[in-house]
Chain A
Amino acid sequence: MKENKTPTLTPDELDVLQEIMNIAFGRATADLADLIDIFINLSVPHVALIGRSELSTYLTEEVIDRKGGISLVEQRFWGRFLGSALLVFPANAGKELITLLAAGPETQSFESDPIGELEKGVLMEVANILIGACVGKIAELLGDVVTYSPPTVIVNQDDDKSFSGHGNGSDEGSVIVLRTIFRFERRDVSGYLFLLTGDTTVTWLKKALQGFMEQFS
């Protein structure tokens, strides 16, 4: 009988992935700082391997203190490194960020239009930079190249509903979650970046992580 064993990562492999995420998100924030005059406080990234059926609950519990609702940008990426990136901000983040990226008379319209097009555009632009640079750097470090879907902005006042549907169908198997929390200095905005990748990536990822560390042995 064929053994149906879900591939998994060892604690050492998760440590390597965490350091790669650290390097990649550092590059992403530097890219954003090049574009706008802002400093981003970084935190130590966290990597977890969880069951796909637990994903929605995990994400909801991770994004604590978001009673005012959240804005979420999702972007998928394809390569041997395959998955989804979720950039999560508090609901008012778009208005805060817009003053950095697109200060001008248009900002007035957001007082009466909380899900305005410009606000969405700013969130998408920030997501494009952070996700693109972070995922791109991870792929580069692991010898891969990825392509991206256009980012999708989801504004939802209810955290529980925001994270449903990010398990991609089946409740079977596992998901690798890479999470980092960041805070824009002098702005009341902090956010989360989650990278979600599933079983199909794990087998490649194990070899790629080994290859990455062999450079340093």
Chain B
Amino acid sequence: MNETAIIDKILIVDDSPVARKILKSCIPADKGYELHEADDGTAGLQRFKEVHPSVTFLDITMAHMDGMECLEEIKMLDQDAVVVMCTADIQPKSAQKAENLGAFTMIKKPPSKNVVREVLERVERHLTRAE
């Protein structure tokens, strides 16, 4: 782990193992991030409490506690939590709802390496300013 890194732990919450694998492949491997996973909103909330990630990637459409509900719970636990919605539900009203609930940003599936790298750089700048 790089001592100067702002982001250390990343949590990925998605009920699809394929979606988690795709997202993991897009996260820069050379940064030494500690990656954690959960396969639905309920498990994701539990992992969030245990891990205290710097950033959480959260799917919306999940069977057990959807992403919106999980986001709401996470923000109640930590209003400064950085949550990036990574979803196939790209309806404008979903993006608006996520923003209203405090999501940092939303990226559409399937993510690309460039988009994920760019988002993580934005998160780093955001966290640097917040320190």
Contact = CB atoms under 8 A, between A and B. Distances in A.
B21 interface: yes
Contacts, number: 62
B16 A26 contact: no
A44 B91 contact: no
B61 A33 contact: no
Given A15-B17, A26-B109, A217 B88 contact: no
Contact of A44 (B18, B61, B90): B61
A19 B16 contact: yes
A15 B21 CA distance: 11
Interface range on chain B (Cβ under 8 Å from partner): 20 to 34
Interface stretch (A35-43, A60-68, A98-106, A199-207): A35-43
A217 B25 CA distance: 6
A216 B61 CA distance: 22
A5 to B, nearest CB: 26
B101 interface: no
Contacts of A118: none
A189 interface: no
Given A22-B61, A44-B61, A44-B63, A216 B88 contact: no
B58 to A, nearest CB: 15
Interface in A86-126: none
A27 interface: yes
A217 B16 CA distance: 16
A37 B65 CA distance: 26
Contacts of A141: 110
A20 B22 CA distance: 12
Interface range on chain A (Cβ under 8 Å from partner): 20 to 34
Interface in B17-32: 17-19, 21-22, 25-26
A23 interface: yes
Interface in B31-50: none
A146 B61 CA distance: 27
A59 interface: no
B18 A19 contact: yes
Contacts of B91: 29-30, 33, 39-40
B89 A26 contact: yes
A164 to B, nearest CB: 31
B109 A23 contact: yes
A18 interface: yes
20 contacts: A15-B17, A15-B18, A19-B16, A22-B61, A23-B109, A23-B110, A26-B61, A26-B89, A26-B90, A26-B109, A30-B89, A33-B92, A33-B93, A39-B94, A42-B88, A44-B61, A213-B18, A216-B21, A216-B22, A217-B25
Given A27-B88, A42-B60, 17 more contacts: A15-B18, A19-B16, A19-B19, A22-B88, A23-B109, A27-B90, A29-B91, A30-B89, A33-B91, A39-B93, A42-B61, A42-B89, A43-B61, A44-B62, A213-B18, A213-B21, A216-B25
